[in-house]
Amino acid sequence: MPKNGERAYSGTHNLTWNIDSKPGYGREKQHDLHGVLILDVDGTLTRPGSKYAIDSEAIDVLTEFIVRGGVCVFNTGATLGRLERTVFNQIFHNLDERHNNTLTASKIFQERIIAIPENGSATLLSRGVEIVESELYFLWHVLHPLHVPDKEKLRTLIEQELVPSRKNSFVIGDRPGDKNARQYILSWRGVTDTLKLIEDIKSRIVPKYPEIDWVNIEMKAARTTVDFIHAQSGKQPSIDWVLHEIGSLDGPVLGFGDLGDEFGKEVPTIDVNQGSPNEFRRRGVPAMELTHWEPLRGNRYVITGNDEKAIVRHSDTGEEINVLRDRSGKIIYAVKNENGYLAATINGTGHPVEIKPNPKTVHDAGKGTAWALRRLIDAGYFNIKKSFN
């Protein structure tokens, strides 16, 4: 059995994920936050209008969250190399600068960072960070890596059948010379209408090439990319492992960005890009927006209908009120405690919760994530000593 503060890998790998529960990193108050953040990267931590540059405000608040006791899981379609260059370098620099001690920074990083690159094709636990000749080297335990099946045969097929059909498109994988090489998956880049392309591949290409292991290949559509991944990537076992391990940690688990259906169905998620609903939201799983939630009070409302057909209306005007609902469409009832925090009830007591646009203007992407996370930290959301009774 793992000791207090440790998390043991529950599969076949003989690894222990250590979470230090002892106080002490630095001069300021530490380990007063508890919880886990699961974060998308592109469109969630990036600067508004940028496809790659990470917002420094997001990095700063994530650093504080980590130093004060939180764990961060980065779930992204990006490669590990890009994640290291654009996110982890900045976080480690902040940790090193804050503590003026590289060994301490490496220890914190090791205990509080998990990476899930390339659409869940592997789960990586940090073994720390080394500095060799003024260069940072991130060390990793790699759990259950899943390469796309028949990678070389599939790549040849994409190059011969798909790339010629779209001008300026190309495929990248792990061959020498591939720009931003993918270690586990293949990506057909420089295309549009990716959802339609996937349907075309399924109907026209798949039947022509029965020798390819299509059963274990999944295609994911991004804005200008079709990714070919192992069908178990992002589902089993990476996501199950992470959810199992973080489920035994103290504090809330909260997601930011497009985490995909697997995380989205299990983890309450804030979407900082309100105009771009992600896939799990399209399938009816609610995500929190940058909006203001307020329980309706007294005689301000009336409810007509039952269950998912119930409608909440203003008692004076009869106008319908937008309220929180669960994935089946039923109204969520909640109470507000003495500290001003909302907590959902399970017996239908309390009041419906009205969703209002937030009066504060918040930029999307990284600045929105930084603003929302800062607000939650300041409100005590990650302080397990706060009462939600």
Higher pLDDT residue, 306 or 362? 306
242, pLDDT greater than 50: yes
Instruction: Assess whether 340 and 270 both reside in one domain.
Output: no
- CATH number of the domain that residue 53 is part of: 3.40.50.1000
pLDDT in tens, 41-91: 988 899 877 777 999 999 999 999 999 999 999 999 899 999 999 999 999
For 196-205, write each residue's pLDDT tens digit: 999 999 999 9
pLDDT of 16 reads: 56
Question: Is it the case that residue 348 has pLDDT exceeding 70?
Answer: yes
The verdict on 22 and 130 lying in the same domain is yes
Taking the C-alpha atoms of residue 286 and residue 234, their distance in angstroms, rounded to an integer, is: 20
Average pLDDT, the chain: 82
* Average pLDDT value for residue range 234-256: 79
Asked if the model's pLDDT at residue 37 lies above 60, the reply is yes
109 and 252 in a common domain: yes
Q: Are residues 92 and 211 in the same domain?
A: no
Q: Where are the alpha helices (DSSP H) in 68-218?
A: 80-83, 89-99, 102-112, 151-157, 194-200
Confidence of residue 18 (pLDDT cuts 50, 70, 90): low
Asked if 54 contacts 257 with a C-beta cutoff of 8 angstroms, the reply is: no
How would you classify the pairing of strands 351-357 and 291-295?
A: antiparallel
CA distance 188 to 162: 8
Same domain for 226 and 254?
Answer: no
Digit-coded pLDDT (tens) for 113-156 = 999 999 889 999 999 999 898 889 999 999 889 999 999 999 99
Residue 315 domain flag: yes
Residues 170 and 277 in one domain: no
Q: Cα–Cα distance between 13 and 11 in angstroms, integer?
A: 6
Domain shared by 197 and 262, yes or no: no
**What is the number of structural domains in the chain?**
3
User: Is 123 within a domain?
Assistant: yes
Q: How far apart are CA 138 and CA 132, in angstroms?
A: 11
- 362: in domain: no
Per the structure, the complete domain to which residue 56 belongs is given by 6-146+235-282
Mean pLDDT across 163-170: 95
On whether residue 44 sits in a domain, the answer given is yes
Question: Is pLDDT above 70 for 377?
Answer: yes
